[in-house]
Amino acid sequence: MENYIARTAAMEWKPLTEKGVDTSGLFVKSLRFDEQKQRSPAILLKFEPGAKYPYHNHPAGEEILLLKGSCMINESLLSEGDYLYTPPGFKHDVKSESGCEMLLIIPAEVEVLVK
């Protein structure tokens, strides 16, 4: 059982890095790493105040649970405790003026788009 538990309080936040994407102020904790796909489909993501993630597509959809703070997804405000399901092909950007932490379930790699 221990191999399947992510002890998030003991994990360190690591800078999010994506080739060609400005990810300054974004930090991640991988909850589960898929060896076959070589990516994490379940993560905690932290936005420092003023951080943003560019306009992008979710080919397989996405689930977000906002744990702390608030953020804007497109023109909608998400606050602590809010849950958002985005269907496959949903496109949006994310920004947080005050900072936030969220749980993300992302079945497939996102595609960064030019708006």
First to last CA, the chain: 44
pLDDT band at 115 (very low <50, low <70, confident <90, very high): low
Cβ–Cβ < 8 Å for 113, 57: yes
User: Is residue 114 over pLDDT 80?
Assistant: no
Q: How far apart are CA 75 and CA 12, in angstroms?
A: 31
Does domain 2-112 fall under CATH 3.40.190.10? My reply is no
Record the tokens describing residue 104, joined without a space. Answer: 């993300």
pTM of the predicted structure, to 2 decimals: 0.93
What ranges do the domains of the chain cover?
A: 2-112
